[in-house]
Amino acid sequence: MQHSQRAEPSEDAPAPADRRRICFILVDEFSMIALTAAIEPMRSANRLLGREAYSWRLVSADGNPVTASSGLTLASDLSLGALSDMLSGGGLSGGQGFDALLVVTGLYSGAPNETRLHGVLRRAARAGLVVGSLSAGAFVLARAGLLDGYRCTVHWEYQPAFEEAFPEIECSSGLYVIDRNRWTGSGGISSMDMMLHMIAADHGPRLAREVGNNFQVDRIRNAAIEQRPGALERLETLPDPLQKVITLMRANIEAPLRMSAIAEAADLNLRRMERLFQSHLGSSPAQFYRSIRLERARELLMHTNLSALEAAMLTGFSSSSHFAMAYYRQHGMRPSETRRSVAATSSTAATTGPGLRADGTARYEGGLEP
């Protein structure tokens, strides 16, 4: 087996940074894949460069081991209190401090120690550090007031809940968003895309490609690539007119557009639009539009405290009975059953593992860990 060679300097590589130091703040039941996908590219870059260009430390609330949503437990290097002391005592110089703090969460966004965590993050932001998040960690940043005036992203499953909770914050559907000194990633393997972007900025695209090759990554996705929401086909594989129609549908959930208005906006006639949907998605435009709205309703019921009636109104259903019947046909259960299943899961998790939110409200539960 041929080993990867050390990346050669390239003409488009910037002057290498001496060392970038990343601090990952782990909230109980954090997403292991989001963390690993962020750390491994840095490890690989160090190996290819032959020096420690990147270093990282793990922080937990009390300095004790912290458990991921998968049940695996990791030792931490620092407690939040120790990190706070470093920030307060000027320990950001030399090799003792950090350049970036990234909050890593998983299936929920709350933390029993959020007041202290908010203070640490605000102090880091005032010191000029990069402050960011992975997976649902954008909720923590938003509640700390650190996303005001910034763009961000969050895993697609939590985006409706985030937009409902923080309507004044621009939440993108992108894989990751780097807006000045705020870095937010949508979780999962998108963490690797974000870190490869960082490596390319620090050491040039050639090294980033070398690192990606080590992980069988055939292309480095940029921030403009949108997440794949739910069971929706990848937009980029569909004809441009169909992409435009679906984008219009996704942008108009609460007040659905008429099919004729959508077709006109996409420069299509109704018959042509019908044929495109049947050919590529096996559905009529109206059926597909309704399925998008019902998927959004399900996400709202799972990840917010909104009532079924409120979820219906926010997804363009004026009749609660019509909403309930349509919801049952798509999801195989009534809206109230979805809410009860989430409450039951949260109650069980609260008694069997860490992570009950400080205010006692239900955690954000999902299917696959983002």
DSSP string spanning 176-190? EEEETTEEEE-STTH
Helix (H) or strand (E) holding 193: helix 190-203
* Locus of tokens 């990606």: 212
- Report pLDDT for 366: 32
CB 331 within 8 A of CB 195: no
CB 365 within 8 A of CB 108: yes
Q: How far apart are CA 246 and CA 331, in angstroms?
A: 21
Q: In this structure, what are the phi and psi dihedrals at residue 179, rounded to the nearest 5 degrees?
A: -120, 100
Neighbour count for residue 266 (Cβ, 10 Å): 20
CB 278 within 8 A of CB 318: no
Amino acid at 148: D
Closest by CA to 173, choosing from 220, 225, 124, 137, is 225
CB 307 within 8 A of CB 320: no
* Locus of tokens 């909104």: 306
- E strand intervals along the chain: 20-26, 54-60, 66-67, 73-74, 78-79, 100-104, 130-134, 151-153, 170-172, 176-179, 182-185
The set of residues, in sequence order, having a beta carbon less than 8 Å from that of 102 and lying 6+ positions away, is 22, 23, 24, 25, 38, 131, 132, 133, 134, 137, 183
- Per-residue pLDDT tens digits of the chain, which is 370 residues long: 344 444 444 444 444 457 899 999 999 889 999 999 999 999 999 999 999 999 999 999 999 999 998 889 999 999 999 998 888 765 444 334 789 999 999 865 566 678 899 999 999 999 999 999 998 899 999 999 999 999 999 988 888 888 888 999 999 888 999 999 999 999 888 999 999 999 999 999 999 999 998 888 877 777 767 776 554 556 667 888 998 999 899 889 889 999 999 999 999 999 999 999 998 888 899 999 999 899 888 888 877 778 888 889 989 998 888 999 998 888 888 888 887 776 555 444 443 333 323 332 333 333 333 4
- Report pLDDT for 97: 73
- Report pLDDT for 3: 41
- Report pLDDT for 364: 33
DSSP states along 224-257: TSBP--TTPPPGGGS-HHHHHHHHHHHH-SSSPP
Strand order in the sheet with 130-134: 78-79, 54-60, 20-26, 100-104, 130-134, 182-185, 176-179
Encoded tokens for 280: 């590529």
Partners of 131 in the β-ladder: 101, 182
- Report pLDDT for 2: 40
Closest by CA to 335, choosing from 323, 353, 348, 317, is 323
Nearest 5 degrees, angle CA 220-CA 30-CA 47?
Answer: 45
Q: How far apart are CA 305 and CA 364, in angstroms?
A: 10
Q: How far apart are CA 358 and CA 114, in angstroms?
A: 8
What is the reported pTM? 0.67
Cα torsion angle, 184, 221, 33, 6, sign = negative
